[in-house]
Structure formats: C-alpha cells, structure tokens
Chains A and B, each alone.
Chain A
C-alpha cells in the first residue's frame, strides 16, 4: 500500500529500527521483512530504504558491515546499535501516545485496538 510520503517519513525509521532489533539484516531482506511483517500494508519505496539506512547510520542508530556469504556473495548487514535501541524505546512510547490520541479523535472504527 502506498502511503503519503510525509506520513511515512516519521514512521519509517521506527519500523526499520524495530525490524532490526529482532536481528541483523541486509537491505533487500529488510525491505522484504517490512512487507511481510506488515502484511504488505507497509512498503518502503526501495528508493527510500537505502538513504534511510545511511541516515540512521550517520546518526549511529544502526551499524552497517560488509560480509561475504558462504556462497561467495558480498552483502552489507545492518544491525541496531545500543543508541538505536534507546531511540526505538522512546519512539515506541511516542507512537503509543499518538495512537491513543488518534483513537480518541477518530473513534474505534478507524484506529485498530
């Protein structure tokens, strides 16, 4: 599903951090995981994914590392850092508050419980 860019912009980093908090992944794997976990509701444009990962890396929230797989292919694996975990916790609290507020505004019919 395509979301408005601005709407997704604030959510995307939290989603990436959340997925990476469950284990390290490379770029393609991450995009697939987001789609799968969100039942294809959330699809980060692939053009957005890599710049987003580089930004998170610049903020030291994730760390990228090149590795060679047993099949001989090189992949860059991303893992969440301790700073990233702290940020994730904070963002999650904020998101919960946001959902609560939206629920109050829109009612239960729109906001999932």
Chain B
C-alpha cells in the first residue's frame, strides 16, 4: 500500500524545511512534486544510518544547515526548472503573457472609451429647419406641392429608358403613340407641377422628432427626393413633345419650370438634396439645348429663357452649412461634455482620434484623445475650405488651404471628402453649363437680329447681348467660341483642362479627354443630359 504521507520517515524539522521550500517555489504542481520527492529522498538517504530519533533530528538539522536558506533554495530551484522548458514552450508562454497584458490594456482602453456619456444639448434638426427656411413664410414653400406632383408622376416606361432617342421624331409611329399615352397618364402630375411654380421657394421640413443624425433618422425624406428625378424626366419629355408639336410656348414655360425646379431644390439643404437639384437643373439646361437645336424660337422667347438663366446664374451653387450641422450633431453624440464645450470621444467617436488608423490606435493606447473644441475647430476649418472651393469658379486647381485642411482633418472627416469633392465637380459643371446656355441663347439672338454670328464673345458683350463674358471653370477663362461655316461652335475644355478643338465628350471625361460642346448640340451619351458621369 502506498505511503500516504511522504514525510513519515523524516524528522519534523526536515519535513517543515522541505514544505517551506516547496511553498516558496510557487511553481507548477508537477515540478514542485518532483522537487519535493527528490529532497525527501535526499534526507532519507542521509538519515538511513541514524539509529535514534535524536540522532536523526540532529543529522537533519545539519543537512538543513548545509542546504541553507529555504527561500534561496526555492528561488534557485525555480529558476533552474524554468530553464528546463523547451524554447517553443518559452516562446508560447511569453507570447501568451504578452497577449494577456495587451488584452488587459485594451480592456482598460475600452472601459475608458465606454465610460463617458455624451450630452445632447442642441437639436440640430431644429436648427436645420430654421436655416433652410431663412425666416420665410410657409405659404411661399412649394415643397409639399412638389412632393405631391412627384408622387403623381409615372416613371418612364422601360422601352423609353432603353431608347437612345432624344427627340420624338426619332420614334416610329407606335413608339410615338406610347409616348403620348405615357404623357397623358402624367397629366395630373404635370398640372400639379405647374401650380408649384407660383410659389417662389422650396425648403424641406425635416422631422424634428427624429433628430439623431448619427442613426440616419434625418434621411427619412430621401425616398421622396428620388421621386423628383422621376418627375423631372416626365417634364423633360413633355417639353420635347410640346416643341415637336410646335407648341413652343408651352415647351418654353415647362422647360423654364424644369430649370426652376432643380434650382430651387439646389437651395441650402443637405448635400444629397443639392446633388438632386444640380441633376434636375442640368436636365433642364440640356432640354433647352435640344429645343434650341430642333425648333426655331423667336427673339423674345430666346431673351425670355436667357433672362431666366441669368437671374439665377450667380446664386450659391453649393452650401455646406447644413452638412456641417450633421457633423456637429455627430460630434455632440460621440463626445463627452465637460461643461465648457470640451470633452473626449467615446467609443463611436474614435474616428475623430487621429488623422489615420495608426495615429488613432496610438492615441487610444496612450489615452491621448483630442478635445471636442479642437475637433470643432478642425470641422469649421475644413468646411470653410470646402465652401471656398465651391465658391471659387476655377476648378483647375484645388486650393492649397483646402488640401491642408483635408490633410489635418481627423480620419472620419477625411472619409467624407471624396463625396464632397464629387459635389464640387458637379457644382463647377452646372456653373459652366449655365454660362454655356446664356452664351448660346445670346449668339442665336444676335444671329436673328443681324443675320450673322458674332466674331467673338467680346462682340456680344459690347453690343449688350450678354452682361459678362461666359466663364469656363475648366479653363479659368472664357468659354471657347468660333464661327464655322454657317454655324458656330461653343465649348468648355472639360475636366481634362485642355482644348481638344471642340471634340464632343461628356465634360472631357472620355478616354482621350475631349470637350464639353454646347453648340452644335451633340449627344455623346444619352444619359449625359443629367450632366453626370
């Protein structure tokens, strides 16, 4: 039968000594067991010749004295045993220890980030509603009527969407009949739309009860926004059909209505609304060009359209204030509030903690979080730079200040910049589009009055057909104009910033660049009517 107490054969002092060594070793049970067994064996061997208990006790004490301090022996033994581990085991254990330390540290960081609580002190939706309304009376707002018109509209049938035709004369009899039927179905929508034109403004009313920008609640109006483009396509074809039927008066009124529609939505709301506005306004201008190309308008009609476009020419194209309010709300909901306008980011706000992922991780690990005030300053700086870019008519170079502001901005804001830059591109397009249309209308008027085309755009200016030289944002100079055999060519350099001698393309974005040719009217791609890529 196995001896249950291994110390049975040893004097108490020896047993106590061995137990103390093992206790001080504080090491793996199995290793301690081995060492204990070996020490017991050592004492037993040393004491085997002792005859009496007294003699055993005395000898044991001598051995203990030779072994020395129990704690020292324990430490030396533990060290030596540790060295017995194979390399892979040492690496594994060290790695595991490192992981545990990292995990604990990250947990502390996580707790730190999760511990703060943001304070919601500003309802930015309320602010936004006041901003877009600009103190105007609600009776001047065409939004609800426009929404109704959009809801009443029936989208283009598939055959029309897929058709490459841009004018009713491109259709055969059956298709023309289908077009007429579709426009008849849309009559209620068109009538409702025409009524909206009596109201001079458009502003969306955002739901103040759904004020969390971060959750995207504010974007609940987007579905209705998408129906606006559907309505714009209906009006676009109605204008073409009216002009085709020589009903130019209606065509002009509707086409001006279409341009107004886009121009109003462009307003000062969120960027997404402004983008839809730009797209609709561009559809309107392209429609005017097609009408000019396919029909003959009187001098008065040309003047009427030109006056309309000129009136809205210098309106702000893009307004970033509403968009900035979204970001402010995001900051409000992702930073703590220390009562003086400062605070640190909580978990959802870590994207503000640095300019790149590396910096964010470093700042998180070193608890070096940016202050809310600092972030607000960076947002203001970046959005000021955005606005300057939008207001600058020359697209050839992005401003130094903008590039610097973008570089200095926290990662979360940098992520948004490509979308904003895209909006900037479209804003330059619409501005150039407006000037191209004004110049074309003026040249056609000049031709009607004099029977010839002007030698230059300066001649148009000098003779009062235009009030300033039309500007090409992609050239930082005037639009390019030349007389040709019995006609003229008017174009912008487009986004490749060079003169391709009037080779038609979609805003210079073709494989070999090209130009945006306003006159003579060309259709490099059907969908180009929206002015988008």
Give A contacts to B, CB under 8 Å: 26-29, 45-48, 50-55, 57-59, 66, 73-76
Contact = CB atoms under 8 A, between A and B. Distances in A.
Contact of B45 (A29, A48, A54): A29
Contacts of B38: 27, 50, 76
Nearest to A54: B80
B73 A74 contact: no
B66 A46 contact: yes
B34 interface: yes
Given A58-B80, A58-B84, A47 B39 contact: no
20 contacts: A26-B45, A27-B41, A28-B41, A45-B67, A45-B68, A47-B67, A47-B69, A50-B38, A51-B77, A53-B80, A54-B81, A54-B83, A55-B80, A58-B81, A58-B84, A66-B34, A73-B41, A74-B37, A76-B38, A76-B41
B97 to A, nearest CB: 20
Pick the 10 closest A-B CB pairs, nearest first: A54-B80, A58-B83, A51-B76, A28-B45, A47-B68, A47-B67, A58-B84, A51-B80, A46-B66, A55-B80
Chain A interface mostly? helix
Contacts, number: 65
Interface of B: 34-35, 37-39, 41-42, 44-46, 63, 66-69, 72-73, 76-77, 79-81, 83-85
Which residue, of B41, B46, B79, has the highest number of chain A Cβ atoms within 10 A? B41
A28 B37 contact: no
A47 B21 CA distance: 11
A26 B63 CA distance: 16
Nearest to B46: A28
A104 B34 CA distance: 46
Contacts of B66: 45-47
B73 A51 contact: yes
Contacts of A55: 80, 83
B41 A74 contact: yes
A59 B69 CA distance: 25
Nearest to B63: A46
B79 to A, nearest CB: 7
B77 A50 contact: yes
B73 A47 contact: yes
